[in-house]
C-alpha cells in the first residue's frame, strides 16, 4: 500500500514514535471499515482489520534485523520500542473511540470487549479483599495463558502477536475511555476510580510486550553464532513477563480494594 512505501524500515527503527501514529491511524481505519461492512461483528472485525494493516510494518522491523541478531537489551534493537509505541498508539485510539461514541454504538463496537470486562468487574465489585484470592488465581491463569499465546503466535508467525496486543489495547481503551464517555454522554464510568487500575495495567501491558518480543526473537534462525544469545534473551524476557503477570495480579486484587475499604 502507499503508506507502507512511505515509511521505511530504518525510519521505524530510528523514530519509534512513528509506530504510535501507525497504531492510532490503523485502529481508526479498522473501526470505520468494520462499521461499514461488519456491523454485527465489528468488535472483533476492527481488531482483525487493523492488525492486518500493521503486520507489514512489524515485518519490516523483523526483516531489518534478520541478517544478524541484536540482543533485545541492545540500543540497536528496535523491536521493543516498536511494539511499545505501537501498543500505546492503539490504546490511545480506542480510548478516544470509546470516549466519543454514543452508548448504543459502544454496545456494538466493543461488544466482545465489554463481555470480557463484565464478569471480572461484577465479581470484584461483589467480593471483598479476603475473598479475592480466587480472583487473583483467575487473573494469573488468564494472563499467563495470554503470555503463552503471544509467544506461540510470535514464534510461529513472527508478527502474529499483534492481534493479541491489539485486543488488549482495546480493553485498556475501554477502561480509561469510559471516563470521557461519561463526561460527554452522562452516566457512570465502568470504573469509579480508573487510576487505581493503572498500576496493574502498566505491569500487565509490559508483560505482554515482553512476551511478544520473546516469541519474535525465538523465531529467528538459530545460527551457531547467536544461538546462546537468543536463548538467553528469550529466557530473561519470559521470566520477566511471568513475574510481571504475578505482580500485576497481586496489585490488581489489593490496591483498588485497599483504597475503597
C-alpha cell belonging to residue 29: 481505519
pLDDT in tens, 115-149: 777 655 444 444 444 456 777 888 899 889 989 98
Query: Over 90: is that where the pLDDT of 160 sits?
Result: no
Span 156-173, average pLDDT: 83
pLDDT value at residue 28: 96
Taking the domains of the chain in order of start, what are their residue ranges?
2-260
Report pLDDT for 124. 47
Q: DSSP string covering 108-129, please?
A: HHTHHHHHHHHHHHHHHHH--G
* pLDDT (mean) for 28-51: 91
What pLDDT was estimated at residue 76?
53
pLDDT grade, residue 239 (50/70/90)? very high
What is the percentage of the chain residues whose pLDDT exceeds 70? 76
Check: CB of residue 22 under 8 Å from CB of residue 86. Answer: yes
Name 164's Cβ contacts closer than 8 Å, sequence gap at least 6: 146, 149, 150, 153, 208, 212
Per-residue pLDDT, 190: 66
Does position 94 have pLDDT exceeding 80, yes or no?
Answer: yes
State percent of the chain over pLDDT 90.
Answer: 20
> What is the pLDDT at residue 223?
61
Position 26 scores a pLDDT of 94
Mean pLDDT along residues 99-120: 81
Q: What is the pLDDT of residue 74?
A: 60
User: Does 69 have pLDDT greater than 70?
Assistant: no
Task: Give yes or no for a contact between 166 and 50, defined as CB atoms under 8 angstroms apart.
Answer: yes
Residue 159 has pLDDT above 50, yes or no: yes
Please tell me the predicted confidence (pLDDT) of residue 162: 87
- Predicted pLDDT at 128: 45
pLDDT for residue 207 is more than 80: yes
Could you tell me the three cell numbers for 100?
466519543
Q: Find the radius of gyration of the CA atoms of the chain.
A: 19
3-state class of 159 per DSSP? coil
pLDDT: which is higher, 215 or 98: 98
Amino acid at each position: 500500500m502507499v503508506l507502507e512505501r512511505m515509511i521505511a524500515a530504518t525510519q521505524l527503527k530510528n523514530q519509534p514514535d512513528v509506530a504510535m501514529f501507525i497504531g492510532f491511524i490503523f485502529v481508526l481505519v479498522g473501526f470505520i471499515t468494520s462499521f461499514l461492512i461488519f456491523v454485527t461483528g465489528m468488535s472483533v472485525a476492527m481488531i482483525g482489520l487493523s492488525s492486518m494493516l500493521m503486520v507489514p510494518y512489524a515485518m519490516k522491523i523483523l526483516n531489518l534485523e534478520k541478517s544478524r541478531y541484536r540482543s533485545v537489551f541492545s540500543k540497536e534493537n528496535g523491536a521493543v520500542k516498536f511494539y511499545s509505541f505501537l501498543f500505546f498508539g492503539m490504546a490511545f485510539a480506542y480510548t478516544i473511540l470509546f470516549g466519543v461514541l454514543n452508548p448504543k454504538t459502544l454496545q456494538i463496537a466493543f461488544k466482545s470487549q465489554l463481555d470480557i470486562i463484565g464478569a471480572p468487574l461484577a465479581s470484584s465489585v461483589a467480593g471483598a479483599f479476603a475473598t479475592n484470592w480466587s480472583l487473583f488465581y483467575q487473573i494469573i491463569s488468564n494472563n499467563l495463558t495470554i503470555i503463552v499465546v503471544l509467544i506461540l503466535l510470535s514464534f510461529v508467525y513472527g508478527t502474529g502477536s499483534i492481534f493479541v496486543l491489539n485486543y488488549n489495547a482495546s480493553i485498556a481503551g475501554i477502561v480509561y475511555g469510559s471516563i470521557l464517555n461519561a463526561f460527554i454522554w452522562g452516566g457512570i464510568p465502568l470504573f469509579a476510580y480508573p487510576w487505581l487500575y493503572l498500576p496493574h495495567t502498566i505491569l500487565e501491558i509490559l508483560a505482554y510486550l515482553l512476551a511478544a518480543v520473546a516469541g519474535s526473537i525465538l523465531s529467528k534462525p538459530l545460527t551457531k553464532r547467536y544461538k546462546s544469545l537468543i536463548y538467553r534473551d528469550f529466557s530473561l524476557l519470559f521470566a520477566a513477563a511471568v513475574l510481571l503477570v504475578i505482580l500485576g495480579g497481586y496489585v490488581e486484587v489489593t490496591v483498588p480494594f485497599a483504597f475503597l475499604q
